Structure 1
Amino acid sequence: MTSIRHFPATHPLPDWRNFGVMLRVLLGINGLALLAALVMATDIAGWPGRFIELTAAVEPLLLIGLASLAFLRDVLWRLPLRLGQFLVLALVGGLTGGLFIYWQSLMLSEGGSPGRAILLALAATALLLLYFELRARAFSPAQSEARLAALNARIRPHFLFNSLNAVLSLIRARPQQAEAALESLSDLFRAAMRDPGELVSLADEIALGKQYLELEYLRLGERLAVDWQIGAVSLDLPIPPLMLQPLLENAVYHGIEPAPEGGTVRIGLEQRGDELHISIANPTVGQTAHAAGNHMALANIRERLALYYDLEARLEIEVGDHRYEVRIVLPCRQKIR
């Protein structure tokens, strides 16, 4: 299985294919170009023009460098850290020198030695590599896994007591159903206690969500209706553990329980290109007593997604008339073997 030890934030050499890494590199280099333009400009009025000139020279190098590093990522990750960083610097220096000579051949540069441009490029690259190494230490595997374990521990506060009460009510009248409910409860807590750094298959997460809803059905009865809409999706796609269950718990707790007539929880799963789309919708009854708890749970999931995927995953909320929907978009990773 894929472990958090291989996630982008925990590797000291950046994952150049990750959107968050690309965005940080683009912002960092352009920020340095902005400062350089301020230093080089003769006055404030000439600052924007100087910045445009610098970015016209920097952007081609930046885009070519990012594309090259993304292509070479797996090779660089297999090397010792310092050797990988050295090769990144060598690649950037070589690209800078080659582009500088090419621009001179086209009479696009103002002359001068390519050495200065190479040194500036190496200095900027070294600063970025240092930033990503320090960031990886802050998100070390041990710290990230401890953080995920703490977040996972927060997503099941009252569910145990409700489930046990439901099982107790079944023991005498329907002992076989009570035994099956206890087995489902055991599976849910076994899943909650697994290593938070390991991804699970989408099929396992769906099965866990169904077990949870079956337990809630024992308590709520006909008030709880469920509509699963599973589209064309690969069920062995790896996703973070306990991604569906807390959202289903929110939908039941905030949408079904307060309504005397109950309602329907709708779950949609669909794969669109390289993205997995998950949606969970529930009715609303105009009550706000549990709103703070709902927001805390969603903030919890956002933080977990950031630890797993950086900026490549997103969580969206849509509130309509008598309807509340949470949508999660995850990048499709390699299949679990």
Structure 2
Amino acid sequence: MPSEGNAIQHAYSPLPQRVHAGLEEGFSRLATVDELIVDLPQTPPRALDADGDQEQLGNVTVTHRIAEAPGDGESVRWHYVEAGPADGPVVVFLHGVPDSWWQWHYALEALGSDHRCLAIDLKGYGQSEKGTGDFRQEGVAIQLEALLDQLRIERFSLITHDRGTPVGDHLVARSGDRVVRYGRGQQHLWHLNPELHPQQAMFTSPEAPSMLADARRFVATAYLLLTERAVKTSDLARTVQEFGHDGISTAVPRYFHSSSFRQEWIERRTRLIPRWRCPVLLLQGAGDPLQPREFYTDPDVLAQLPEGSGVHLFDSGHFWPFEAPEETVAVLRAFLTQ
């Protein structure tokens, strides 16, 4: 049983008054999800990429990579996309739900001229490993660290979004001075309230695999609920394709069965944040109904972070890499080159 003092220390934060109205407005939009689905082009499954396949993003050529790295007793198969000069400063990107490496394609196009960018499909997503194994946030971070070791990446900056961020939190805590900067995106940090993570019950329900298997509806629903600004149809269509690979619908729920939002929250407060050594930039959409901006601009929270840390609020909802791509690129470039 936790002590009374520990229970107080980990008391949930009350919601700002405006949040309830924002949640009601967001959920009311779901009535139009069928209209959004109709407007999406047909998205047949995308063929698997082979190691060395290339794709053009504007003036930048990106290369698809397949790597087997230690983990889960033998190895874990990773798919990632690489851009930029081999001797450039390394930036690693981790996506969230329901995304893939494609979430960062604007950043790869803009930063790939002078940074070595690696946008990784998280385990269970895209074209990465989907077999059974360790799907704890810390376990996946350990396996990602093994991948970076295998690639001989000694120093790197990390940019994350949504459910890639809990994995990133562990990776930064484990890596110490190896991480130059941490752009921590769109995930609960110091404050938490149970009303703000309904997806925990959704992803652990018996219906979760069948719900996720309908990639078009799931992507449309997530983006309709959590965006404030229009997202290009082409970005939604590619997101559907990348989320439609075989095995995702059963692999992704394993993360949610392996931990809880409360467990992650307490780990951050007690074990992870004290071990972060690099400057942290909190990257949050000001209009996300499930992550109140007041929770991230709180001076007492910022005081918990390493020297040089700060916060940037995007003029957008949850999915700022697609809602505000120009702002995203400008903020990331300034942070990575400061």
By the TM > 0.5 criterion, same fold?
Answer: no
Larger radius of gyration: 1
TM bracket, shorter-chain basis:
under 0.3
Q: Which has the higher helix share?
A: 1
Choose between structure 1 and 2 for higher RCO, CA contacts under 8 A separated by at least 6 residues.
2
TM-score by length of 2: 0.23
TM-score by length of 1: 0.23
